[in-house]
Amino acid sequence: AQMSLEQGYEARREFDARYRLLLRSVRDAIVFVSVNEGRIKDLNEPAAALLGSTREDLIGVSFAQEFRDRRRDEFIESLVNTAISESASGFDLQTKRGRQRIVITPNVFRAAGERVLICRLSTTDGASAAPDDLS
């Protein structure tokens, strides 16, 4: 039993590591948001760039606060509704810091007893903030 507990533990440590590397390796701009608190749990550099700040400064802040004319509760509720709805259409917004028009494509999941939004951000011309090598 101890053995399998340890194996489970090791397996989970591997997912932690995979998660971190994956978030760092992708060019898509990604933000994880707690549904209950409305706060940014994690994000990558392309997302921080789109929001006009740094990862360090954005982790823990209210996600709604990063956009113009958005009240927290309504905002998070709309993201959850968009995530749940069948229509895959995104969510049009303007960032507060950089006045950048972006689209959010949200997805919602449950983990460790709380609901978490994973949001893919892209500029309205479809490109992500990452220097894209599309020709």
Would you tell me which residues interact with a copy of itself (CB under 8 A)? 9-19, 21-28, 30, 32, 42, 105, 107, 109-113, 116, 118, 120, 122, 125-127, 132-135
The residue among 42 and 66 lying less far from a copy of itself, judged by its C-beta, is: 42
Check: CB of residue 44 under 8 Å from CB of residue 122. no
Rounded least distance, CB 104 to a copy of itself, Å: 12
Residue 50: burial class (beta carbons within 10 Å; 0-12, 13-18, 19+): buried
Q: Which DSSP letter does residue 64 get? A: G
The residue among 17 and 77 lying less far from a copy of itself, judged by its C-beta, is: 17
Alpha carbons 64 and 34: distance in angstroms, whole number: 12
Alpha carbons 74 and 37: distance in angstroms, whole number: 12
Rounded least distance, CB 46 to a copy of itself, Å: 11
Rounded least distance, CB 56 to a copy of itself, Å: 19
Rounded least distance, CB 114 to a copy of itself, Å: 8
